Amino acid sequence: MLAFQYIDDDASLTELVSKYRQSPLLILDTEFVRTRTYYARLGLIQAYDGQTLALIDPISVGNLSEFWSLLSEPEITTVLHSCSEDLEVFARNGKCQPFRLFDSQIAASLCGFGHGLGYAKLVEQTLNITLDKGESRTDWMKRPLSDAQLNYAANDVYYLYELYPQLIQKLEDRNRLDWVFEEGERMTQGRLTPPDPEQAYLKVKNAFQLSSRQLAYLKVLAKWRLNKALKRDLAVGFVVKDHALIGLAKKQPKSLSELNKMIELTDQEKRVHGKDLLALLGSADLDNPPKPIDVLALKNGYKSSFKAIKNCLTALSEQHDIAIELLGSKRYIHEYLQWLWDGKRGELPLLLSGWRAEILASPLAELNIS
């Protein structure tokens, strides 16, 4: 059983933060619950600076602002593993992002341990310790938490502190330490920007199938759904499903009778939202519809261009011992192709930015894709 402090009042948190503010390193993890909600519900924060391991109860502590301020300290390196969802939690609950972020999953990938390595596997590979993951399905909003649950949570930062020096050494040996911090900076960008209801239709699955006129209907429907989801803190799919919005945009029912005949909508969606949905369809701005969604994969030359780039990146990933998923995923290739076919206007794609540019810029230019 690891020794830790359980922080469940403001005075204890103030004292803890004062200690942590003197440390150059802070290992963090969060436990949260996300089932039907739009935002993850924060249940526990684990923190360790090598001296004091703390489990912070955000349900009991009234004000976490002092703790969140630690993340903005330029002299403190924040270490997390596979931190994308943690960053969401920080943005939602603390309105902040780590100033200097080290993601140990990305670090492990750049050290040659493998891409997307889970925390337990990384601990096993670096420290030869097998962690018990038996509490991974815990409801972290319930109180009290058992000793087994608290120990499980403490493990997530204790061993990360232990393996951190090994990752640092391997990264320095490969001259890749700066790459990890560059990735950390990229991962935090835009996290504090709230979702834009006007653009919500672009995230509806299969929206690309719709005509410009149909997209005008989808736009008002998706905007309404997102606003309702945000107001109720409910996942958008629990308001109205994507395929239902697509069906409404295509069929545009004019009455409850027509709407009730639609198989795309559940009986509950019809009963609860029927009148609202009809009103929304009637409010669509058909005089200024969105442009049809440009699908990159349907353009002439896409297959051959994508294959040429993918083959180039695959060879370079093997040459430099960098996982292809990290060096140049499908999304990154699409971003690069879109930039090329837009006449190289706008912000440089990720494949031509930072450390990736050192490896990829010249080989990609030699492909001469137009």
Element of type H or E holding 119 = helix 119-127
Contact 39, 141 (CB under 8 A): no
The side-by-side arrangement of strands in the sheet containing 5-7 is: 5-7, 53-56, 41-48, 25-33, 77-80, 101-103
Q: Is 252 left (phi over 0), alpha (psi -120 to 50) or beta?
A: left
DSSP for 33-87 reads E-SS-SSPEEEEEEEE-SS-EEEE-TTT-S--HHHHHHTT-TT-EEEESS-HHHH
Q: How far apart are CA 204 and CA 214, in angstroms?
A: 13
Closest-CA residue to 64 (of 79, 34, 42, 36) = 42
Domains located in the chain, CATH noted: 5-188 (3.30.420.10), 197-282 (1.10.150.80), 296-367 (1.10.150.80)
| Active-site residue flag, 152 | yes
Q: Report pLDDT for 369.
A: 86
From 152, 158, 332, 336, active-site residue: 152
From 20, 38, 48, 86, active-site residue: 86
Element of type H or E holding 155 = helix 147-173
Both tokens assigned to 184: 């950390």
From 49, 103, 156, 335, active-site residue: 156
Q: How many helices (H) and strands (E) does the chain have?
A: 15, 6
Contact 44, 62 (CB under 8 A): no
From first to last of its 370 residues, the chain has per-residue pLDDT tens of 789 999 999 999 999 999 999 999 999 999 999 999 999 999 999 999 999 999 999 999 989 999 999 999 999 999 999 999 999 999 999 999 999 999 999 999 999 999 999 999 999 999 999 998 778 789 999 999 999 999 999 999 999 999 999 999 999 999 999 999 999 999 999 999 999 999 999 999 999 999 999 999 999 999 999 999 999 999 999 999 999 999 999 999 999 999 999 999 999 999 999 999 999 999 999 999 999 998 998 899 999 999 999 999 999 999 999 999 999 999 999 999 999 999 999 999 999 999 999 999 999 999 988 7
From 20, 29, 119, 217, active-site residue: 29
Q: How far apart are CA 239 and CA 291, in angstroms?
A: 26
| Active-site residue flag, 366 | no
| Active-site residue flag, 287 | no
DSSP for 261-316 reads T-TTS-HHHHHHHHHHHHHHHHT--TTSPPPPP--GGGSTTHHHHHHHHHHHHHHH
DSSP-assigned letter for residue 351: G
Q: Report pLDDT for 359.
A: 98
Give pLDDT tens digits for 230-243. 999 999 999 999 99
Closest-CA residue to 2 (of 123, 164, 157, 135) = 157
Q: How far apart are CA 350 and CA 2, in angstroms?
A: 42
- Reported as half-sphere exposure (CB side, CA atoms, 13 A), residue 15 has a value of 10
Both tokens assigned to 11: 């005075």
Contact 140, 43 (CB under 8 A): yes
- Return phi, psi of residue 197, to 5°: -60, -30
| Active-site residue flag, 29 | yes
| Active-site residue flag, 321 | no
